[in-house]
Structure 1
Amino acid sequence: MLELRNISKAYRRGKETVPVLNDISIRVNAGEFVSLIGPSGSGKSTLFRLIGGVERPDGGRINIDGNDVTGKRGLISYMPQQAALFPWLSVADNISSALVTAGTSKKEAKEQAVAWLDRIHLGGVAKEYPHLLSGGMQQRVSFLRALLMRRNVMCLDEPFAALDALTRAEMQRWLLDLWEADRRSVLFVTHSIEEALMLSDRIYVLSPAPATVLRELDVPFERPRRAEVWTDPAFVTLKRDVLELLGESHSSRA
């Protein structure tokens, strides 16, 4: 379980202090899929840097499985917005290195890497280097690396943003299938309300910076989630609710 308690963060810009996060409290229960939605610049990526221990909050603390991990690194699997791949390794070796880090033997990791790449339809580029792949392909390989790093908490920062609509929908279904088979705690950042509703158990809606939690929404759709869930009247209602929250937050800050 991941828990953020009363997290605040500000940055210095010259002589000015700019607050980014203001008393944020968020939880992701064991095996739960939670999404963050907020306007650009609302501190979503900053939250991930804090969770990953890259930065420390000015106030509050971060717990994983009941332990205070504030400022500690290496305890989550993380995928940033831009592909995070080793440029000197082939695509297959990028995947096998993640498996080795997770405890798989080198021989078995090489075999599994090929199988995993075939599952996401990238077996044909297994021997290529990342710079030869399209942006969408790089993101898929990076996403697969994050999935294979065996951590109890996964933080995914808009992992599908670089993909075309068809591939994005395919990867959403693929992620759900994998997650259903081996549920881990996931904190997912997206700008797409539809994506959050498709994937999540709960959604936190954030205000513009300095970000606060405007509302925590339960997503009522049963699992395994149906591909046509977007036609459910409750889906349309929840989407409208989130849009209204975001619109009201912009108006109040204007």
Structure 2
Amino acid sequence: MNLFPQLASNLPAAVLSTLAALAYALVAWAHPRLGSLQARALLAITWGLHLLALLAGLLSEPVRFGFAPALSVTLWLVLTVYLVESRLYPQLRARWALALMGAAVMLLVMIFPGAEHPTLPSVWMPLHWALGIAAYGLIAAAVVHAWLMQRAERAMRSGVTSDTTMPLLTLERLTFRFVAAGFLLLSLTLLAGWHFSELLNQRMVWNHKTVFSLLAWATMGVLLWGRWRLGWRGRTAVRTLYVGAGFLLLAYVGSRFVLEVLLLRP
């Protein structure tokens, strides 16, 4: 068994994925020793390597996609959001956690590059994928902000103040903005999936992916309604977000993980 299938199927993607994994590991190891500007510059270089690895994998012939590439695109989107926000809010610090996740995800992509898709049932299918992955990225960004919000709340309750802690209300506002944007894209993803089923004269397939996607959509909708009508915040809002994000993770990544890793099916 070839432990790194990309070495045989797509050498440029494998080389770029390796460089990105090493760059992420370097960020995780060196960030306490670097200044803020140096750390951001190194992370920006890593972001670029990750993007090149994504393009080399997604633009190959035939296209390969699966749970690990989906995680890779999601993490890259989260990192993109972080790089933009860290310019607006210099006290935002999550480099170490993102770097560790990035190194792990790049290794996963090398081991599990996904199934081949030599033909697509519709030329618009990539739009459906793009909407779904963008929804993943925005909800993942909301989860990261919710985690930072919990950390800031614990620090405030313990009486610890720090120049690197963002205001709690700012984190809360950003969290719900990402939830709302992710909910909108998830709604469009489900509508696009239903539309493609109609175009192909197929009924909507009620498999694990569909069920978990609808559960995630309903949970995010309840969260936004609770925020709007009941003023949900704090632990109630964060726990509901985590549940919805868990459903969304199981929808595609979880289903493909079971097929590719546990059942060894493309």
Q: Normalising TM by the smaller chain, what interval?
A: under 0.3
What TM-score, normalized by structure 2, do the two folds share?
Answer: 0.26
Greater share of residues in strand:
1
Greater share of residues in helix:
2
